[in-house]
Structure 1
Amino acid sequence: MKRIAGLAKIFLAICMACCASAYAEVGVTSNSIVIGQSAALSGPAMELGNGMRDGAMAYFEHVNNQGGVFGRKIILKSLDDGYEADRAAANTKHLIEKEGAFSLFGYVGTPTSNAALAAVNQARIPFFAPFTGASSLRDPFNRNVFNIRASYMEETEKIIEHIATLTMTRVAVFYQNDAYGKAGLEGVTRALKKRNLEVVSTATVERNSTDVAEAVNKIKASNPQAVVMISAYTSCAEFIKAMLAQDSHPLFWNISFVGSQALANKLGKDARGVLISQVMPAPWNDITLVAKEYKKLYAKDSSHLPDYVSLEGYVAAKIFVEGLRRAGPNLTRENFIKALESQPIDAGGFRVKFDNNNHNGSSFVDLTVIAKDGRFLR
């Protein structure tokens, strides 16, 4: 009988182990957590995708070198979508179905993030820290989506508020002809309407294109005092250069998605005086603890130069890891979501707060201008 009882205990243990294995969370093993990213790693927006990935990897590698989270190392699988929605949709399906990702992380762009949402909702997989401020990722509330950056509505409101303090009333909008550009246009239009003003002219550029000649002619003809640009760094740089070449000198305003350092690099000497709203603290100084530690870890690779995009990737990774720690050793998507919603997270001077009705973690917006020497001044 003792032998039978012993065999029964062994059989029960095996059954429990099998059940635990059968019901283990997707993408989670005893020693790893797989997360997936689709971003522009090539093409005209590649500096955004590579910056977001490399900034995140600087923190994930630091955590992995310390033993991971409850013994699990974080594996980030990044796929290139070239900033094209159809490729992002295909990548998302692959990451969920083939790679078995626990969570999706750090997608870059509005059209690409929007393209992932159907699969995200079907799989009920966390979609963490997309590099976009579009309302489509915020309204209506989606329990799977966590935004760590301010919205485009908040950025454009801050920009128009500044323009209004200068008593400027003639504002034009140059925008990318897709969901991203239209989201920014809506923000500018709403902020102007709040002040009983209207956009004096609009012009578009296609995604991943630098054909801005028609847009320049149209906006120049409206004689704007300020132009708010809602596009990526390549097209914005071409637009600014072409306007200046035609002796048109309005204030040039960009929102954070433009890729600040990439824009400054493309503009060269023409960068002076260009203004950009930011949703992260300044990455070059030690005012915030997170910027200080980011510089230390990110700059381990001599090819890495601090900028806003990679800092955002780093901050996103740090907040993500804190969510994993709060979820505890028995990691599931459900307890990860609940852990993020439990209380505010301070990443070191950059604070986010999620709850079960709101996953928009931050409303921080800063305003910067590119100086003569290429530095960014607040």
Structure 2
Amino acid sequence: MGAMRLLGAVLLAGLLVCGGVARAAEDPVITFGMSAAFTGPSRGLGIELYRGASACFEQVNAKGGVHGRKLGITALDDGYNPLPTIANTIQFIERDDVFALFSYVGTPTVTRILPLLLKYRDRHVYLLFPFTGAEPHRSEPYSEFVFNLRASYMQETEAVVDRLIALGRTRVGIFYQADAYGRGGWDGVRRALAKYGLKPVADVSYPRGSGTEYSYTEQARLLHEADIDAVVCIGTYASGAGFIRDLRDMGNTALAASVSFADGDNLIRLLVEMGGAAGVDYTADLVHMQVVPCYEDLGLPAVRAYRAAMDSYSGVLPAHLGKESYLPKRYSAVSFEGYMNARLIVEMLRRMGANPDKSKIPRVLESMADLDVGLDMPVSFGPDRHQGLDRVYFMMLSGGRHVPVADWERWRR
């Protein structure tokens, strides 16, 4: 009898152990594939977006994950170039079998992988919350495979043009990147001006990949000679900083407004560095847009949660991504956006239950109507709405801090 009890105990222990192993095998990390610029002059975008999303996942994983499953990001560098982005995306789908594509960075990169979403539609491949406000992935036939959190560039450019016209600044120029991103913003400015019977007084472009070392003197000269009183910049933070430097060195004080992709935090950082070396203040008469609230607004629950996550974040960038030096910011608009992207992923998985299924992504996200995520407005998706937020925020440097624009009258003509 004793031997039988001993044998039963051994068998029961074996079953428990095997059950634990089976459970572990059934519950791997839920992984999301992220292709972004981690090298090159725009690397701050990929790094900050990754940091914010990773901080959120790390926070959730420390509490046991979602329904017992841990969350992770498989990130690959594309240098803000389309061809590596295509290769990375195919790897995510074919080899890594990620749960979804997530937080891609840039219009020229995202636009080139959109046909892959159609190609792999039977494998339920979706792109969630890319860092771009462009139109191609918001339009058929690709919109059904993409969900955006952020407002579009059309909304950003219309919002800033409305402000400029209200201030009496009607001689508007455009500085834009010579690719799909820049042309999309260029089109947005032109459409917004057309509402008032106006056209840009001048527009100039520059090649993608240009940094602060590039000379924008010719672009600045053309806009200066056109007698602009405002310029809308559709570029990166490195190109935008170089252009504003050259425009100010020419003596031009036109109000310069940059869209959210230009990353106001890093734009200001570069302008302060260059201005300090030259003994010039390059940050005056500068406005930049972002699509999440100010990360200093502690009245918002989402801001408090984000800052707590960043304060405790381990901050370790995978070795294969940290090939070029970059000093991350403790808090930034881009990492805050990455954090909110990840918050929506967590909510999506929570609603899916214990057995997450890629094919349910559209239905689950489209069920999120008027979702309170702790911002100053709810996130709303639906069958005909794959963009969660619409608001555009205007920021400036004041007293050494990145703050919302409170007084536009200083720029009235």
TM-score (norm 1): 0.90
Aligned pair count?
Answer: 352
SS of alignment partner, residue 108 of structure 1: coil
Distance 2:170 2:146 in 1: 37
- Counterpart of 1:160, as a letter, is V
Q: What does residue 77 of structure 1 align with?
A: 74
After alignment, is 209-218 or 231-240 more displaced? 209-218
Q: What does residue 291 of structure 2 align with?
A: 279
Distance 2:80 2:399 in 1: 31
Distance 1:286 1:313 in 2: 18
For the 8 Å contact 1:29–1:72, the answer to whether it is kept is no
Question: What is the correspondence of 1:35-50 to structure 2 with a 5 Å cutoff?
Answer: 35-50=32-47
SS of alignment partner, residue 369 of structure 1: strand
Shift of 1:121: 2.3
For the 8 Å contact 1:264–1:374, the answer to whether it is kept is no
Distance 2:101 2:217 in 1: 38
Q: What does residue 361 of structure 1 align with?
A: 388
2:137 is aligned with 1:137? yes
Distance 2:289 2:164 in 1: 12
For the 8 Å contact 2:175–2:233, the answer to whether it is kept is yes
Distance 1:320 1:364 in 2: 21
For the 8 Å contact 2:35–2:75, the answer to whether it is kept is yes
Q: What does residue 149 of structure 1 align with?
A: 150
2:353 is aligned with 1:336? no
Distance 1:253 1:107 in 2: 24
SS of alignment partner, residue 282 of structure 2: helix
For the 8 Å contact 1:127–1:144, the answer to whether it is kept is yes
Shift of 1:128: 0.3
Distance 1:136 1:241 in 2: 32
Question: What is the correspondence of 1:256-267 to structure 2 with a 5 Å cutoff?
Answer: 256-267=260-271
- Unaligned stretches of 5+ in structure 1? 1-20, 22-27
Shift of 1:375: 2.8
Q: What does residue 192 of structure 1 align with?
A: 193
2:373 is aligned with 1:347? yes
Shift of 1:51: 0.5
For the 8 Å contact 2:294–2:404, the answer to whether it is kept is no
Distance 2:103 2:193 in 1: 31
Shift of 1:29: 4.7
2:379 is aligned with 1:371? no
2:272 is aligned with 1:245? no
Distance 1:29 1:286 in 2: 40
User: Please, what is the CA RMSD of the aligned residues?
Assistant: 1.6
2:331 is aligned with 1:306? yes
Q: What does residue 97 of structure 2 align with?
A: 100
SS of alignment partner, residue 199 of structure 1: coil
SS of alignment partner, residue 306 of structure 2: helix
For the 8 Å contact 1:53–1:313, the answer to whether it is kept is yes
Distance 2:385 2:209 in 1: 32
Say which of 45, 57, 60 aligns to 2:57: 60
- Counterpart of 1:264, as a letter, is I
- Counterpart of 2:199, as a letter, is E
SS of alignment partner, residue 366 of structure 2: helix
After alignment, is 138-147 or 77-86 more displaced? 138-147
Distance 2:296 2:72 in 1: 28
For the 8 Å contact 1:273–1:370, the answer to whether it is kept is no
Shift of 1:214: 2.1
For the 8 Å contact 1:371–1:377, the answer to whether it is kept is no
